[in-house]
Structure 1
Amino acid sequence: MSNLQQLRHFAALAEHGNFARAAEAVHLSQPALSRSIQGLEASLDCRLLDRHSRGISLTVHGQLVLEHAQRLLAGSHALKNAVSQLGNLEAGELLLGSGPYPAARLIPQAIGKLASAYPRVRIQLLIDNWLGLRRRLLNDDLELFVADIRDLEDDPLLHIEALSVHRGVICCRPDHPLSRKKSLSIEELLAYPLAATHLPQQISQELNSLSGKEQPISIQCDNFMVLKALVAQSDVLTMALWDVVAEDVAAGRLSVLPLANGMFQQTSAYGLVSRAGHTLSPAAQILRQHVLEDERTS
């Protein structure tokens, strides 16, 4: 029967693709690493590697074992982390994910409060769209994330708590040619490049229908801070949510474009997402509470 140590050695070898580098990474000699891999192959009764002059490559069995090994190792890490956090949160880490818009306002506020109260908790934040975050959550790479939930709501593997709704806007730099208009048509908007994060299917379909274009988004980027910087120094427009641009608009760094009545009236659909049936670690529970409190007072 294989053990976690052998699986850890195998995962390191798959990552580095070379016995020498993998052995160094796991603090073993090459012969010891080789014996560990051979023991794993013997216990599973299959060949996991093809050895060649350039290093190693995984067999079909090896690819399958690697997928399971990564999940088991992540689960083992999560268990140790949850146990270490019991008590006064003097240790452990929080693996957290966020969509681009919550990462621009909501998540930094909640992380700041958690870090101030529990400075010894190590926090790792991954920013991605909801599809990537879901995949990482189910692979145990994340414990909790905040993102758009429109395409996740019927997923039985997830536990979802909906958050406050914010209106959608289209922004530009204050001296943009369109900022002087009183009411804009879709044709006037599409005369300029439009930038956005990865859009939920519902919004994407509405925008495609409204514009008559299969790909109306000229620039896609899941880092909203990059999009804001791009808009501030060019004629590019960006789709955004009011809560993440309100301060920039008030400070005169961005302007909200006046759309024609009824045109593209979208809102946010943020949610807190974790695995169904899984208990959150103490750190994740505290961060969740901060997010809910900040949303109620925003």
Structure 2
Amino acid sequence: MNFSFPQLQAFTTIISSGSLGRAADALHITQPALSRTIKKLETELGAALFERHSKGMRLTAIGEALLPHATLLLREAESAHEEIDAMRGLAKGTIRVGAVASIATLVLPLAVSSVLARWPNLRVEIVEGVWDRLADSLMKHEIDLVLSMAVPDTSEIVAISSCRWEDTSHVVAALDHPLRRKADLCLADTLDQQWCAPPRGTGPFEHMQQVFAEHGLGMPAIAVETRSITVLKSLVTRAGFLSWMAAPMYDTESAAGVFDTLPVPGLVGRRTLTAFRRRQGILPSPALKLLEQLNTIVPEYNQP
């Protein structure tokens, strides 16, 4: 069965708009014309896609089944247009990338700046999050690249081996934290302090857990768990909490004398970072341009 681009665009726009009227306005067509397009699609499918009710449009089971495929087909069509434009030298399009916070803080902005300096007609959409959410967005074709901690490949997502680097993570504390005055400070001294950290199951939490285990220690009691980097930094700065952060995440705070690494002798948590893509399909040309710049920048951050 063949679907036309206008049919799929009409279908997804109704879903995002919530009503025929708003969808027709967004598509710059009349409501009767939009109704005819959807009716033709339903006739070809032999099933209704929407249930009409007083508050708008609601997807049927058939509509729910069609939605991910329609989204994918539209995104692939958009990528094809971008690829052709790039081949014609127009270099237009959108880079859609997701990154964990430490990469979004430093490495990604440098790469984006380099890309836009060479190809100013490109646009960039950045999603910040933890691995599970970024992986989900990658599979939904909401983004085309993910920059995160290295994890095993799956049947759907693979690492890009050419784009791999390392950073370090540390215990961080305010400059006036009492532990800074302790002689012979060791990691065990942090266990009875107030801690804040990303939630269990996230990459930073698991990395911290691994480092503590390597020192023969269990995890400290985490008083506050949050995905918000702003909240974590505020708790460290203003409330005397300890936390676990990758060094690029707090280089600005360190330079400003707000908070910094707690100097625990011999404690350095190294981790490997990499780029990921969908196993199936090709990377859109705009994403390839970002990857090219990342491959230029990340060697500077590789540790010996």
Say yes or no: TM over 0.5: yes
Aligned: 1:58 with 2:56: no
User: Post-superposition shift, 1:219?
Assistant: 2.4
Identity of matched residues, %: 24
TM-score of the aligned structures, taking structure 1 as reference length:
0.85
Task: Name the count of aligned residue pairs.
Answer: 293
CA distance in 2, matches of 1:261, 1:149: 23
Residue 244 of structure 1 pairs with residue 249 of structure 2: yes
Contact 1:6 1:36 in 2 (8 A): yes
Q: Which amino acid aligns with 1:171?
A: V
Give the aligned partner of residue 220 of structure 1.
Answer: 226
Amino acid at match of 2:105: A
**2 CA distance for matches of 1:73 and 1:89?**
21
Q: Counterpart of 1:203?
A: 207
Distance across 1 between alignment mates of 2:243 and 2:209: 17
1:41 to partner: Cα distance: 0.9
Change (3 A) 1:31 1:119: same
1:1-298 maps to which residues of 2 (within 5 A)?
1-150=2-151, 152-155=152-155, 157-161=157-161, 163-182=164-183, 183-186=185-188, 188-196=190-198, 199-200=202-203, 202-203=206-207, 206=210, 210-211=217-218, 216=222, 218-221=224-227, 223-224=228-229, 227-246=232-251, 248-259=253-264, 266-276=269-279, 278-298=281-301
When residues 220 and 109 of structure 1 are mapped into structure 2, their CA distance, relative to the original with a 3 A threshold, is same
User: Cα–Cα, structure 1 residues 207 and 30, in superposed 2: closer, same or farther, change >3 Å?
Assistant: farther
Q: In the TM superposition, what is the alpha-carbon distance from 1:23 to its structure 2 partner?
A: 1.5
Greater shift, 6-15 or 277-286, is seen at 277-286
Structure 1 stretch 92-101 or stretch 152-161: which is displaced more? 152-161
User: Contact 1:241–1:267 at 8 Å: present in 2 too?
Assistant: no
SS of residue matched to 1:280: coil
Give distance in 2, aligned partners of 1:237 and 1:89.
49
Kept after mapping to 2: 8 A contact 1:181/1:258: no
Deviation at 1:203, TM superposition (A): 3.0
Distance 1:126 1:41 in 2: 34
Please give the alpha-carbon distance, in whole angstroms, between the structure 2 residues aligned to 1:21 and 1:94. 28
In 1, are the aligned partners of 2:147 and 2:275 still within 8 Å (CA)?
yes
Structure 1 pair 2–174 and aligned structure 2 pair: CA distance change class (3 A):
same
- Letter paired with 2:153: E
Is 1:167–1:242's contact at 8 Å kept on the other side of the alignment? yes
State the shift of 1:284 in Å: 2.5
| Counterparts in 2 of 1:233 and 1:204: CA distance versus 1, 3 Å | closer
Report the Cα distance in structure 1 between the residues aligned to 2:71 and 2:7, rounded to whole angstroms.
12
Q: Which amino acid aligns with 1:270?
A: L
Q: Do the aligned partners of 2:167 and 2:246 also contact (CA within 8 Å) in 1? A: yes
Distance 1:217 1:107 in 2: 31
SS in 1 for 2:167: coil
Tell me if structure 2 keeps the 8 A contact 1:171–1:257: yes
Gaps of 5+ in 1: none
Distance change >3 Å, CA 91–CA 176, structure 1 → 2: same
**Contact conserved, 2:208 with 2:244, CA < 8 A, in 1?**
no
Check whether the contact 2:198–2:226 (CA below 8 A) recurs between aligned residues.
yes
CA distance in 1, matches of 2:283, 2:240: 44
More displaced 10-residue stretch of structure 1: 21-30 or 35-44: 21-30
Report Cα offsets for 1:20-55 as digits up to 9, x if no partner: 112211222221111111111111111111111111
With over 3 angstroms needed to count, the CA separation of the structure-2 counterparts of 1:185 and 1:141, relative to structure 1, is same
The alignment's TM-score, normalised by the length of structure 2, stands at 0.84
Alpha-carbon separation, structure 2, partners of 1:235 and 1:132: 30
- TM-aligned CA deviation for residue 108 of structure 1: 0.5
Aligned CA distance change for structure 1 residues 130 and 233 (closer, same or farther; 3 Å): same
Distance 2:287 2:86 in 1: 10
Moved more, 110-119 or 280-289: 280-289
Q: Give the residue type in structure 2 aligned to 1:15.
A: S
Report if the CA contact (8 A) 2:158-2:278 is conserved. Answer: yes
Answer with 226-235 or 22-31: which moved more: 226-235
